[in-house]
Amino acid sequence: MSDRIYDPVIEEQVKSFPLIDVANAQESRDKITKFKQRLLDQGFERPTDNRVEEIEQMISGPDGAPDIPIRIYMPKDRSKLGPGFVNFHGGGFFMGDLESEHARCLIMSTKAGAVSVGIDYRLAPEHPFPAGVEDCYAGLKWVSENATDLKIDSDRIAVGGGSAGGNLSAAVALMARDRGGPTIAFQLLIYPVIDDRCDTPSMKSEPDHYVWTWQNSIDMWTHYIGHDRSTVSPYASPSRADNLSGLPPAYVMTAEHDPLRDEAILYAMRLMAAGVPTELQNFPGTVHGFDFLTASDVSTRAINEGVDAFKRAFL
């Protein structure tokens, strides 16, 4: 690596991460699956909490599309309507499932008091844009339409996710604004993939990042939207949106040594310029996906600050 300074705990952990060739989607999926199994074999335990009931079910997809698997995280002591958190997982649009951000959903239910709902959208390249984001929008609509049964206040629904999930959250916020609903009260954008052009300083000048690289981004976007970038929808690449006014308040979290850092910072600044209440936090010494590395103090702080931002949104 270069002379960049990393949090020592994070750097030690990411050294064991597998290098993936994103151009080969299935090979990348297989590598990550094997890596997760190795962690389980080494004693890693899936987080659980007996205060939260996990409920899996299928909901209707967009017109003509397959049903969508979802997972509801219901606090067992929920006695009245409260905030809801609709999560879209990361994975570069081509990997991931309901387990990918299980920990985030569980934390939002235990620490923020939300009913969390994870949406298992269709993946590229088998299902390129707009399949995934339309599934996410359908998931948001279902949560809003069934809010009372879910013990959610329909005026207090947030969307959020990490990486590609941050993209999908920002895109769904644009779709909800443009389509007249459902109401989104807050967007939690965690080191989001936000711009298909991949030409920011952090993306172009630092090729030797841990976890994620410029080439990974190029290949990821090709899976999702193809090679033709002459006309790219803002619902695919939110930075392409000309108008960011009227969007819900946002919390944007970035990692210092993440090639995606600058595009997220620029998006946050554009939100602010458009009059959208926006909080931006950049965590020093960190890498893409660092908040899952819970042995690090900075990761714990990042998780807690995201929870606090969510709670402040509903004061």
Which domains, ranges and CATH numbers included, belong to the chain? 8-227+236-313 (3.40.50.1820)
Could you give phi then psi for residue 2, rounded to 5 degrees? -85, -160
What confidence score (pLDDT) does residue 209 get?
Answer: 75
Tell me the residue type at 165: G
Express each pLDDT in 135-181 by its tens digit.
999 999 999 999 999 999 999 999 999 999 999 999 999 999 999 99
pTM score of the predicted model: 0.96
In Å, how far from its chain's centre is CA 117? Answer: 13
Tell me what percent of the residues of the chain surpass a pLDDT of 70: 98
The per-residue pLDDT for 248 is 99
* Residues 89 and 116 sit within 8 Å (Cβ to Cβ): no
Q: How confident is the model at residue 206 (pLDDT cuts 50, 70, 90)?
A: low
* Cβ-count burial 295-313 (b if 16+ within 10 Å, e if not): ebebbeebbebbbebbeeb
Nearest residue to 76 via CA among 92, 95, 52, 98: 52
90-to-49, 64, 66, 123, 151 alpha-carbon distances in Å? 22, 25, 20, 11, 26
Tokens of 313: 């949104």
pLDDT of residue 191: 98
Distances (CA, A) of 120 to 56, 135, 138, 156, 247: 11, 8, 11, 22, 24
Q: Is the pLDDT of residue 226 over 90?
A: yes
Tell me what the mean pLDDT of segment 42-54 comes to.
Answer: 91
Instruction: Tell me how far apart the alpha carbons of residues 146 and 150 are, in angstroms, rounded to a whole number.
Output: 6
For 11, the token pair is 């750097």
* Residues taking part in catalysis: 163, 258, 288
**Residues 6+ positions from 193 with CB-CB distance below 8 Å:** 92, 93, 163, 164, 166, 167, 217, 220, 260, 263
Radius of gyration of the chain (CA): 18
Cα–Cα distance measured from residue 176 to residue 269, given in angstroms and rounded to the nearest whole number:
21
> Tens digits of per-residue pLDDT, 66-95?
999 999 999 999 999 999 999 999 999 999
Mean pLDDT taken over the chain: 95
pLDDT of 45: 84
- At 25, is the pLDDT very low, low, confident or very high (cuts 50, 70, 90)? very high
Q: Which residues make Cβ contacts (< 8 Å) with residue 162, sequence separation at least 6?
A: 89, 90, 101, 104, 190, 191, 192, 289, 291
- Percent of residues in the chain assigned helix, strand, coil, to nearest 5: 35, 20, 45
Residue 204's H or E segment, with its range, is helix 201-204
What's the pLDDT score for residue 300? 94
